[in-house]
Amino acid sequence: MSHINEAFKNGKALIAFLTVGVPSLEDTVKYVLEMEKAGVNLIELGVPFSDPIADGPVIMEADVKALANHVHLPQVMEVVKEIRKHSNIPLVLLTYYNPVFSYPADKFFRDAEKIGIDGIIVPDMPHEEQMEIRPLADEHGVDIIQMVAPTSEARIRENVKNATGFVYVVSSMGVTGMRGDIKTDLKDIVKVVRDTTDTPIAIGFGIHTPEQAHNMAVLADGVITGSGVVDIINKEGSNASADLTAYLTGLRKGMDE
């Protein structure tokens, strides 16, 4: 059974993303544990992929580095096993469908349950196509996280009517990356989601300042930061601990104000 609900049970959830294998598998484990200590409630582990269509240049750079380190889905699963020796923090894999299909899918979901993966985000798999894997996910207690972009009300309702884990509301059209301003009418999107499901809502894409984190926490149940984390790790490699902790504790403070 998924433990994602635990991330939201004591207030607003801070969710952080990092790409597995940058600068090394060992550093990924270290950073996950440090991020938890800094106030992160749920970790998204990025599975390196050669054609990450939803990602901007920061995360694409990390994917290139991780792939050069020969990190693929099997290595990510090993990282999860290592994390689980030290922490029960909810873990969600963000992966494109090809690695899961190649694993293959039935084995992936069996292994995911066994090692403690709570959820999966598949950006290139629309809601309509998820029935291919939903029975496997349900059987093994792995939540498929629904991503909701600024689109029609009917489309949003259709996407989230059977949502589990949390709903990932995309703050802006386009790819991931740090943004100075978030101008999407998120209030209306969040209202439609809340009218359709009781599943917690987290907002991501572009959030990297305490002020942005505060504003998003007012609207939603959780705040997702990705490119800000990955940018620090890309630049500082194995020496990112201090800046990573400062960055995340800043976001946490912004959310709690």
Q: What pLDDT score does 175 carry?
A: 45
Active site residue 55: yes
What is the per-residue pLDDT across 152-184, written as a single tens digit (0 to 9) for each?
889 999 999 999 999 999 986 544 444 444 446
Residue 216 pLDDT: 95
Separation CA 32–CA 222 (nearest Å): 18
pTM: predicted TM-score of the whole model, two decimal places:
0.94
Choosing from 6, 27, 36, 44, the catalytic residue is: 44
Mean pLDDT of the chain: 93
Residue 50 burial class via C-beta count within 10 angstroms: exposed 0-12, middle 13-18, buried 19 and up: exposed
Which burial class, exposed, middle or buried, applies to 111 when counting CB atoms under 10 A from its CB (0-12, 13-18, 19+)?
Answer: middle
Mapped onto helix, strand or coil, the DSSP state of residue 170 is strand
Alpha-carbon torsion angle 215, 219, 220, 221, nearest 10: 80
Q: Which of 27, 55, 113, 118 is catalytic?
A: 55
Comparing C-alpha atoms, which of 150, 149, 170, 175 is closest to residue 52?
A: 175
pLDDT computed for residue 164 by the predictor: 96
Instruction: Give me the pLDDT at residue 182, please.
Output: 41
- Distance between CA atoms of residues 98 and 82, nearest Å: 24
User: How many other C-beta atoms can be found within 10 angstroms of the C-beta atom of residue 181?
Assistant: 8
Domains of the chain from N-terminus onward: 4-145+206-256 (3.20.20.70)
Residues of the chain below pLDDT 70? 1, 172-184
Radius of gyration of the chain (CA): 17
What pLDDT sits at residue 180? 43
Please give the Cα distance from 170 to 79 (Å, whole number).
27
| Model pLDDT for residues 111-141, shown as the tens digit of each residue | 999 999 999 999 999 888 999 999 999 999 9
Using alpha carbons, select from 61, 4, 35, 2 the residue that is nearest to residue 240. Answer: 35
Can you list the alpha helix ranges (DSSP code H) found in the chain? 25-37, 57-68, 73-84, 97-102, 105-115, 134-139, 153-160, 186-196, 210-219, 227-236, 241-256
